[in-house]
Structure 1
Amino acid sequence: MSTTNYIGKPTSRVDGPAKVTGAATYAAEFQVPNLAYGWVVSSAIAKGRITKVHSEEVLAIPGVLEVFSHENVPSLAWFDRNYKDDVAPGGSPFRPLHEDKIQFNQQPIALVVAETLELARYASSVLRIDYEEEKHETDIEAKRDEGFEPGNGKSGWMPPPPPRGNPDKAWEEAEHRLEHEYVHGAQHHNPMEMFGATVEWRGDKKLTVYDKTQGVVNVQNYLTKIFGLSKDDCRVINHYMGGGFGSGLRPQYSVFLAVLASLELKRSVRVTLTRQQMFSFGHRPHTLQYVKLGTNPDGTLAALQHHALHETSQFEEYTENVVNWSGMLYQCENVKLGYQLAKLDVFTPQDMRAPGAATGSFALEVAMDEMAAAAGIDPIDFRIRNYAEEDQNAGKPFSSKRLRDCYHQGAAKFGWDQRNPQPRSMRKGNRLVGYGMAGGVWDATQKKAAAKATLTADGQLLVSSATADIGTGTYTIMTQIAAETLGLPLEAVTFKLGDTDMPEAPVQGGSWTAASVGSAVKSVCEAIGEKLLKLAQKMEGSPLKGASPDEVEFVNGQIRLRQDPDNAVVIRDVLQASGETKLETDSSATPNMLKQGTHSMHSHNAVFVEVEVDEEFGTVHVTRVLNAVAAGRILNPKTARSQVLGSIVWGISMALMEETIMDHQFGRYMNHNYSEYHIPVQADIHDIEVLFVEEEDDVVNPLGVKGVGEIGLLGVAAAITNAVYHATGKRVRDLPIYLDKLL
C-alpha cells in the first residue's frame, strides 16, 4: 500500500530518550501505595529437607510483617504437578515454598516481608533454618553412563532426525578421520537488571503486577492458573527490560513470591533478587559433545556423527536442539545424531541466546576446522565443497539461503586471502597472529501475534501489542512498519507494548518477534488503511472513487492513486470530513503453512576473526571480528547491527571468559557475582564489523524478515577457537580458553 520508505533505514531508537534520561521505569521501580518489601532466603545446602524454620524470632522484630515458608504457605490452585507455564520443559515444574524438600543449592525457602527493604534484608539474615542434609550430585562427569533420551513433546524441542546412510561404515572407510570431545561449562545470563516484581494490591484480589519478563501474557497465564485468579483481576505490565537473553522467558520465583505475599497480606509488595540469587535459576547447561567426521579423497564429507549430553534438573527435562544443526548445515549422506540428558541436583537450565545452536555449532565448527586442516583444504573452501543446497534433515528446500555469499563477501572484506595457512606463521612483535572462521544457522520462525491500531482525527496513529522489548529495538521497528504501511511520518506514530490489556503476543525469544508482531502490525495498519479508503471514497468529489486497495498507496500523509499520484486526498482530511473522531481495529497474523510447510526456513552467517596471542603469557586478544549475516529483509540496519554487535561480544565472552564454577563438595556455584563471573569489558573489545548480505524471502512471512538476535552469536566462539589454533598450533576443545591451556 505504501511507498514511504522507513523500513530498511538506520533509524535511532524511539525509546532511547526515555532510557538515557531515566524516564523509563523498570519492574522494581514502580511506586505504588502501601508498599511492603520482601527479601528471599536461599537454601544453604544442595539436597535434603528443612526440619525447622525459626520464624517466631524474626516475627518479634518490629516492622516485620510475615515470614512465608512451606510451614505456612496456603494450598494453592496450582498444586497439580502437571501444571506448566507456557514455555516450560517436560516434567514437574519447581514450586516455591511448597514442601520441606531441598532440590538445589540457593533454592528459595522463605520470604521475609517487612515495612522497609532494609528491615526485610536484616530480618532475613537472622532467620535460622535447620536442615537434614542428603548426598547430592552436581557433576555431569559422574553421569556420563547415565544419560537418557528425553521423550517427545518438550517445549520448543525437535528430536534429532533418524540416522541416514551408514555413518559407521562410511567413517571407517574415510580418507581422513577425526573423533574428539568438545566441552563447555555452565553459563549464566547475567542481565544488568536483576529479576524483581512490584505487585500493586487494588483490593478484592485485584492485582497489577509489574514484572521483569520477556512475555507478560505468559506471566499472566502462570499467575492466574496458580492462584486461581481471573485475567481481569491480574494485569501484568513490563514496558522496559534491562536485558534478558532468555532468562525472562519463564516466570521466575520472584513474581510468584511477590504475588503470594500480596494476596496473603492484602497489600502491595515488592520482591527483588540479589545478584547472587540471579544464579539460582536457569543457565546454559554444562554440555559434553562427541563429534566424528570423515572425508572422501575429494574433501567432501563421507560421515558425520554428533552426540551431546547435557545436564537437567531432577524435576524437569530441559531439552535443547544441540545436534540437529549438524545434519542440515553441510551436505552429507551418512549422518548419525544423538542427544541425551543427565539429571543433576541443580535448578533446571534455561534457554540462553541461541539455545542449543550456540552449543552445537561450537563443536561442529571447530571439528570442521580440524578436518579442513587434516585434509589440507582452506576452511572456507572446505565448507563450500560441502555446501548444503537443501535441508537434508527435513528433505525440504530452503526458503532462501545466502550462506555462500556470507563466505565470499565476508572473506573479501576481512582480508582472508592474507592468511598464511601454516600455524604459528604470522606474527606482530611478541604476539602470534591467527585467523579463524566459522559459520552458523538459526531458525526463521513466525508465531501467531495480534495488534491494535487507533488513528485519530489529528492524524496520530497508536499501535499496540502485548509483546516485549528486551533491548532489541521492538519499539522502533514496529513504529517503522506502522509508519510505512500507512504513509505517516514517524513522529505521528506511537507504538506501545508490554501490557496484558493489549492484544496477545508470544514471548520475545527465538528471534521471532520482528516476523510475528511485525506481521501483525502490518496487518492491522492495512486494515486501518482499507477503512480510510472507504471513507475517502465517500468524500465529495473524491478522486479515489472506485479505486481498489491495490490501486492506491499511502505516502506522505496522503492516499493517492498509484498510476496518477496527483489524484490524492490527505489522510487527516478524510477523518475530519467523515465526522469520525477515530478509526480503530484489531488484527492478527498467523504463519502461512501452505507456503511455509514446504520449505526449511533459516538465517545463516559466517564469522571471521583475528586474534593475537602473547607467546610468553598465553593471553588471547581478539583484535578483529567480521560477521556476515544473511537474515532476510533488514528492517533497521542500526538496531540490527546493535543486536549482532552484542552477540559478537557474547561470543568473545563464551570463548575466553564465561563459565560458572560449581564446587561439587557443596553443590554450589562459587563465582555468583559480577567480580568473579568474568564477562568482557571495553578493553577486551576491539574492531567489530557487521555485514548484512542482501537476501529476499517471500516465504517466511509477509515482511520477509528472519530476525538477527541469535544468528549473530553463532560461529563466534568457534571462529576464535580456530584462530587461536592458527596462531599457536594448539587446539583447545573445552571452553573457555584460559591462558593456562595455551602455555
Structure 2
Amino acid sequence: MTVTEAPSLPRDIGGKNVGRPIDRVDGPAKTTGAARYAAEYPYPDLAHAALVHATVSRARITAIDTAAAREVPGVIAVLTHENAPALKPAPAVSPLNLSTLVSGTSVNYLGTDEVHWNGQPVAVVVAESLDAAREAAALVRPAYAELPATVDFAAHEGDAAPQKGDMIMPGGARKGDAEAAVATAPVSVDLRFTTPPYNHNAIEPHATTAAWDGDRLTVYDATQTIDWFRRHLALRFGIPLDAVRVIAPHVGGGFGGKGLVWAGTIIAALAARATGRPVRLAQTREGVYRTVGGRTPSIQRVALGADADGRLTALVHTSVTRRGHIGGGPEQVTSQSRHLYDVPNILLEQKIVELDLLSNTPMRAPGESIGTFALESAVDELAARLGLDPIELRMRNEPSRNPIDGKRFSHRMLREAYALGAERFGWSARTPEPGSMRDGRWLVGMGVATAYHPSLQFAANVTVRLSADGTVLVRCGMQEMGMGVATAQAQIAADALGVPFTAVRVEYGDSTLPIAPGAGGSMQTASVAASLLAASEKLKRSVLTLARRTGSPLRARRPEAVEARDGGLWEKAGPGETYAAILARAGRDHVEAAVGADRGLGAAAGQARFMAKFLLDRRRWVKAACGAQFCEVRVDPDTGEVRVSRWLGSFDVGTVVNAKTAVSQLRGGIVMGIGMALSEETLVDPRNGRIMNPSLAGYHVPVHADVPPIDVCYLDEPDPTMPLGLIGIGEVGITGVAAAIANAVHHATGRRVSDLPIILDRVLPG
C-alpha cells in the first residue's frame, strides 16, 4: 500500500530541476480519482462506525440506554464505557519524547463514565452499513449527573496563569522597562484585540480504517504525523511498535488539525478489536467539530511607544489563550514580537486559562497568525498617529540582530521583500488620509503588514537506491497533504545525483518506510532534503568506489574532483562514465545509501545528534521566513460590506524548490487568512460549551467570490544555514493577512477594527 509517485511528464525536462515550476507528480492520480484517501480503501467484511456525542460539558454518565440502538437491523455492537475493551492511558507530554505531543486529549475514550467536554464520544455503534450505524447512534440515550463547568472564555480571562516555556516554545520575555517607556513616550498606542475560536475544515474530514490481524494493527488514517501516530497507537493498545502499521498516502488537507491523534482514530481501532472486524469510522463535518480541536481564541494587548521620528522606544505584547482541562498546548502568540522590531524596551507575556472544553490544537501558523494581527494592526495605528507611511515606520525600526537577545539572523531580507512588493503592488499610489480614496460609491483602502514564521528542521531518515537502468528510488515515510512533497523531493534528488527528473520515483506515506518528521511547522521539506542530500552524496561515493575497483578512468581522481551529471559520474576536467556502465561492469543491479536509523543504537545516536544540532542552532541563530502582505479593499459606506479586491504577497522564504507548488502554498495561506479576517468564527455557547455552528452551513470559509486576484512573488535567496537554503513556506503565507485587511479597512473608513472577524457592525460607525 506504499505510494510510489513517478513523474508523468510527456518528455524529459532536462537541466536544473530545483526552482522550476514542474507539475505535481500526483496530479493525474488526484484529478482522475485514482488517489485513495483514508475512507476509500476496500476491505473484506468491512464494518462501519458512528459516534454518540455528549451534550453536556461536565458530568458523570449515570446510565446509558442502548436497547433501541441494538435493535436496528445490521447493528453488530454498541460499545460504551460499560463494555469497551480497556486502553492504556495517554502518555504525559514530555519535551524529551516528542511523540507524546500527539495526544489530542488525555481522556480514556469509552473507558470512563466522566464527561469532560460537550461533544465527547460516549458510545460508538458498529454496523454492517454506515446508514445503520448512524441511525442506531441517534437512538442511544445517555443520562447524566451534571457537574459545574467553566466554558466562557471571556468571563474567565482573569483566571489565566502564566504560560511556561520550554526548549521548543519560549514563554514570555522582558528587556528594559517597557511599561514605563510606553507611559513616557512622545507618541504611543495601547490597544486591545480579540480573535475568536477557529475550526479546521480540511476538504477531507477525519477518517480511519482499522483492521486487526491477531495482535497486529493496520490503520489507514488522515494523519500528518505517521511515526508519532504509530507510536501513540502502540502505547494505547499495549502492543509492540512493530505490530502497528500506519498508511497515509494522501491526506486531503491538514493545517495542523490532523497532527494529533483524536478520538475517532482510537475508537475505530478499539471497535475493530472488540468486534473482530475491520472498521471504518468516517467523521461527519459536525463530528470533526465535536471531536477535533481548533484554534484557541485570544485576548491580546499591544502597546507601542515611539519618539517623534518614529523610532520605537517600547513594545508590550500580552496574550490570554485557552486550553482544555484535558489537553491542548500553548499558542506562541507573541512569537513574532520577539523578532520584528528594534526596540530597547520589550515586555512579552503569554497566559493560559483552562476550561471544560475540547483541547485546542495547532492551526496553520499557530500563534503567529493571530499574533501578527494584533502587532501589525498596532504598528499601523502608530504610523497613522505619527503621520508616517506604514512601510517607512517598519523600515526605520528594522533590526540588524534579534532585539531580545542579540542573536544573529541566519537570513533576513525583509527590506528587500517590502521594496519588491511595494513597487509591484503600486503602493506609491496610496494617499495617506483615511477615506481619501474612492471608486464610485466604494471606499477604497490599501493596507500592509509583515508576515513572519520561524524556520525549523527535524531529523529524517531516507534511503536512496540507484538501479543499473539509471532510475532512482527515494524512500521516506513523509506525509503528503496537498503540497507536492514527492515532486519537490524528486527535484532535489534529480539535481543531487545528476539524473533526469523523470528517472526519480518517490515512496512515502507508510510507516514501513524510513521515519520522517510530521508535516507541520513548515519543516518537512527542509528536514527530508537534508537527509536526501546526505544520502545522495553517500551513494555517489559508493558508485565512485565501484568505478575505481573495476578499472574506471575515474579511479585516479579524488572524490571531490568528480561530480554527478547527466546520469553518470564525470570528472571535473571532462566526461566520465554513466552510472549504468559502472554498475554493469561491477555486476551490480543497484547501489543504495541510507541516512538515519529507525531503531537501536543508530536511532538513539541519530536522535542525540539531532538534539545537539537543534539546541546549538537555537543558541546561535534566529531562523525564519518573512514577507510583506499588500491588500486593497473596497468598503460599502452604507452597509459596511468589505470586499478584498486585490492582493500581493512578497516573501523571503529562502530557496524555492518548485515555483508552481510554492506559489500555490503561499496563495493558499493568504486565502485562509482572508477567511480568518472576514468570516470564520466558531460560536461557543457560553452557557454549556456547545459549538453552535458545527458545519460549513454556519461556519463561513472563503468561497471563490470572496477571493481576489492574488499575486505572489518571492526573492529566492537561500538561507546559508539550512539544507539547500530552504526556510519553509507552508505557514508564513497566512501570517500578516488579517492585519493587512484590518489596516486597509482603517485606511478606507478611518475605523480601527480590533476584533475579528471584521463583520458589518464592526465597520459601520457606532
Task: Determine the structure 1 residue equivalent to 2:7.
Answer: none
Q: CA deviation at 1:12?
A: 0.9
User: Could you tell me which of 170, 191, 200 is aligned with 2:202?
Assistant: 191
- Determine if contact 1:90/1:318 at 8 Å carries over to the other structure: no
Q: C-alpha distance in 1, partners of 2:413/2:301?
A: 29
The equivalences for 1:683-722 within 5 A come to: 683-699=705-721, 701-722=722-743
* Residue 464 of structure 1: aligned partner: 475
What TM-score, normalized by structure 1, do the two folds share?
0.96
Post-superposition shift, 1:79? 6.3
2:340 is aligned with 1:340 = no
- Which position in structure 2 is the counterpart of 1:235? 245
Judge conservation of contact 1:214–1:468 (CA < 8 Å) in 2.
Answer: yes
User: Between Structure 1 and Structure 2, how many residues are aligned?
Assistant: 734
Deviation sequence 1:87-106 (CA, Å, 0-9, x none): 52899723211211111111
Query: Could you say if the C-alpha distance between residues 152 and 715 of structure 1 is closer, same or farther in structure 2, counting changes exceeding 3 Å?
Result: closer
Match status 1:676 vs 2:686: no
Q: State the match for 2:227 in structure 1.
A: 217
Question: Which amino acid in structure 2 is aligned with residue 705 of structure 1?
Answer: L
CA distance change for structure 1 residues 641 and 377 in 2, over 3 Å: closer, same or farther?
Answer: same
Contact kept in structure 1, 2:328 and 2:361, CA below 8 Å: no
**2: CA distance between counterparts of 1:278 and 1:491?**
39
Report the Cα distance in structure 1 between the residues aligned to 2:582 and 2:208, rounded to whole angstroms: 45
CA contact (8 A) 1:186 1:661 kept: yes
Match of 1:398 in 2: 409
**Offset from partner CA, 1:609-645 (integer Å, 9 cap, x none):** 1111112221111111111100111111110000001
Distance 1:307 1:663 in 2: 26
Q: 1:470 Cα deviation (Å)?
A: 0.8
| CA apart distance, 1:153 | 4.2
- Kept in 2, the 8 Å contact 1:82–1:92? The answer is no
177, 184, 192: which one pairs with 1:173?
Answer: 184
Deviation at residue 669 of structure 1 after TM alignment: 1.0
- Would you say the 8 A contact 2:197–2:297 is kept in 1? yes
Say whether 1:270 aligns with 2:292: no
Quote how far apart the aligned CAs of 1:176 are: 0.7
Match of 1:144 in 2: 157
Deviations 1:280-316 (A, max 9, x none): 2211111000111111122111111111001111122
Q: Aligned-pair distance for 1:394?
A: 3.3
1:556-611 deviation digits (Å, cap 9, x = unpaired):
112111222xx311112222221112212311386545666421111111111111
Is 1:125 matched with 2:123? no
Task: Confirm whether residue 105 of structure 1 aligns to residue 92 of structure 2.
Answer: no
Alignment RMSD, CA only? 1.8
Matched, 1:528 2:519: no
Q: Distance in 2 between matches of 1:473 and 1:374?
A: 45
Check the 8 A contact 1:81/1:92 in 2, yes or no.
no
Q: CA deviation at 1:200?
A: 2.5
Match of 1:503 in 2: 514
Say which SS state the counterpart of residue 118 (structure 1) adopts: helix
Task: Quote how far apart the aligned CAs of 1:649 are.
Answer: 0.4
CA-to-aligned-CA distance 1:507-545 (integer Å, 9 cap, x gap): 1100001110111112212222111111222334x2211
Structure 2: distance between partners of 1:452 and 1:53: 52
**Structure 2 unaligned spans of 5+:** 1-13, 597-605
Letter of the 1:178 counterpart = V
Asked whether the equivalents of residues 373 and 738 of structure 2 are also in contact (C-alpha less than 8 Å), the reply is: yes
Residues 633/596 of structure 1: CA separation in 2 closer, same or farther (3 Å cut): farther
> Which residue is equivalent to 1:574?
582
Q: CA deviation at 1:407?
A: 1.1
1:5 alignment partner, one of 9, 16, 19 = 16
Please give the secondary structure, in 1, of the residue aligned with 2:333: coil
Q: 1:4 to 1:544 in 2, by over 3 A?
A: farther
The answer to whether the 8 A contact 2:472-2:504 is kept is: yes
Task: Tell me which of 619, 636, 640 is aligned to 1:618.
Answer: 640
Return the alpha-carbon distance in structure 1 between the equivalents of residues 488 and 237 of structure 2. 36
Q: 2-side partners of 1:647 and 1:369: how far apart?
A: 22
Matched letter for residue 158 of structure 1 = P
Q: 2 CA distance for matches of 1:70 and 1:686?
A: 50
Amino acid at match of 2:590: K
Q: 1:279 to 1:85 in 2, by over 3 A?
A: farther
Cα distance, 1:56 vs. partner? 3.4
Q: Which residue of 2 aligns with 1:741?
A: 762
Instruction: Give 1:572's aligned amino acid.
Output: A
- Aligned residue in 1 for 2:260: 250
- Structure 2 residue identity aligned to 1:556: D
**Normalised by the size of structure 2, how large is the TM-score?**
0.93
The one-letter amino acid paired with 2:470 is G
Match of 2:169 in 1: 157
Q: Deviations over 1:707-738 (max 9, x none)?
A: 11111111111001000000011110001101
Name the structure 1 match of 2:529. 518
1:726 aligns with 2:747: yes
Deviation at 1:85, TM superposition (A): 7.5
2:368 corresponds to: 357
Per-residue deviation, residues 250-296 of structure 1 (Å, max 9, x unmatched) = 11211101111112222211111110011122111110001111111
CA distance in 2, matches of 1:75, 1:279: 26
Please tell me whether the aligned partners of residues 447 and 742 of structure 2 are also in contact (alpha carbons under 8 angstroms). yes
The answer to whether residue 503 in structure 2 is matched with residue 492 in structure 1 is yes
CA distance in 1, matches of 2:405, 2:269: 44
- Output the CA distance in 2 between the equivalents of 1:603 and 1:528: 32
Once the 2 structures are TM-superposed, how far is the Cα of residue 385 of structure 1 from its aligned partner? 0.7
Q: CA deviation at 1:549?
A: 2.6
Q: Note closer, same or farther for the CA distance 1:317–1:15 as it changes in structure 2 (3 Å cut).
A: closer
Distance 1:420 1:81, change over 3 A: closer
Deviations, residues 52-93 of structure 1 (Å, cap 9, x unaligned): 111233234443221111111233233676799725289972
Contact 1:78 1:227 in 2 (8 A): no
CA distance in 2, matches of 1:90, 1:499: 20
Q: In 2, are the aligned partners of 1:197 and 1:272 still within 8 Å (CA)? A: yes
Matched, 1:634 2:656: yes
Counterpart Cα distance in 2 of 1:587 and 1:91: 31
Q: CA deviation at 1:318?
A: 1.9
Give the whole-Å Cα distance in 2 for the aligned partners of 1:193 and 1:604: 29
Matched residue SS, 1:618:
coil
Distance 2:310 2:93 in 1: 51
Give matches, 1:297-316, under 5 Å: 297-316=308-327
**Mean Cα deviation higher: 123-132 or 91-100:** 91-100
Distance (Å, rounded) in 2 between the aligned partners of 1:533 and 1:596: 37
Question: What letter matches 1:137 in structure 2?
Answer: T
After superposition, where does 1:85-100 map in structure 2 within 5 Å? 86=99, 88=101, 93-100=106-113
Q: 1:179–1:90: structure 2 CA closer, same or farther, 3 Å change rule?
A: farther
* Equivalent in 563, 567, 571 of residue 553 of structure 1: 563
Q: Is this contact kept in 2: 1:48–1:101, CA < 8 A?
A: yes
Task: Judge conservation of contact 1:196–1:270 (CA < 8 Å) in 2.
Answer: yes
For the residue of structure 1 that corresponds to 2:99, the secondary structure is coil
Q: Distance in 2 between matches of 1:207 and 1:166?
A: 57
Distance 2:263 2:183 in 1: 51
Task: Measure the CA separation in 1 of the matches of 2:103 and 2:695.
Answer: 30
For residue 181 of structure 2, give the secondary structure of its aligned residue in structure 1: helix
| Deviation larger for 26-35 or 658-667 | 658-667
Using the alignment, how far apart are the partners of 1:454 and 1:80 within structure 2?
37
Equivalent residue number for residue 285 of structure 1 = 296
Tell me which amino acid in the other structure corresponds to 1:563. Answer: A
Structure 2 distance, partners of 1:218, 1:694, is 32
- Report the Cα offset of residue 209 of structure 1: 0.8
Shift of 1:165: 1.0
